[in-house]
Structure 1
């Protein structure tokens, strides 16, 4: 017997199974970030009151890969999201206490949904119909 035949042959199915077992142990997704949606009112030295996300008051996130000379401290998870929301709201007080919505707030949403469903704007359709009717009436008069 030669030395090559004494070694174990590698079965392709065994290799595939081993590879799948190794891959199954890998982390395939990140856990969802959980952070506080709360804001805190802070009075500045000049007397102005500002809202600050509670998440931005926490220490910056740790660098899990190790710190080196290029390390830049990161915002705490949720801080950037809450700051962006703070810039987008109509009234900043809504972040502390929401408002009741009413029929006037629902009307634009209803119109937008109707445009989406119908594929056109009803006001535009009414305007076009009245223009067509006016043209028809003026042609009948002649």
Structure 2
């Protein structure tokens, strides 16, 4: 029995690295690592009737969509190009793709201000109620019951 355990432990020690290498070989891809260097750039638009570039005519293009045609003349879109094109179509101002804007105040600022005003208003309301109760007590004196105001 102990001899069988020794043999199985020895076989396990020899097969474990082979098993690990086999599993890692399955992770190898023929495509190589993916490049996700997205971004946009402005390019000048040429006039189709002449070779002149029209002054002021600029177009925004995703960096990932600017690929060279293959040998057969087909232009295939690289991974990520469709995402960048969709984002380009969704933005409100296309200039934001090439030049960002200042972010402005944090969204928590107005919320904190509103909460503070709400709490301050509650404190002022409590102070006003206490003042009115005191006025009512002093105006009535001891002749009338105020019902625990």
Taking structure 2 as the reference length, the TM-score comes to 0.49
Which residue is 1:80 aligned to?
Answer: 82
Q: Which has the higher strand share?
A: 2
Q: Secondary structure at the match of 1:51?
A: strand
What are the Cα deviations for residues 11-34 of structure 1, in whole angstroms up to 9, with x where unaligned?
233222321232243436862324
Cα distance change of structure 1 residues 95 and 17 upon mapping to structure 2, 3 Å threshold: closer
RMSD: 4.0
| Matched-pair contact (CA < 8 Å) for 1:56–1:79 | yes
Deviation at 1:87, TM superposition (A): 3.1
Which of the two has higher C-alpha Rg?
A: 2
Note the residue ranges of structure 1 that are not aligned, 5 or more in a row.
1-8, 62-72, 116-120
Give the corresponding residue for 1:123: 113
Unmatched 5+ stretches in structure 2 = 1-7, 49-56, 134-149
Instruction: Report Cα offsets for 1:43-65 as digits up to 9, x if no partner.
Output: 798xx86533243343689xxxx
Partner of 2:62: 53
1:63-106 deviations in whole A, cap 9, x for unaligned?
xxxxxxxxxx963223123213313434212334x1563xxx43
* CA distance in structure 1 between the partners assigned to 2:86 and 2:77 by the alignment: 13
Question: How many residues get paired?
Answer: 110
**1:32 and 2:30 equivalent?**
no
TM-score normalised by length of structure 1 = 0.50
What is aligned with 2:104? 106
Distance 1:14 1:106, change over 3 A: same
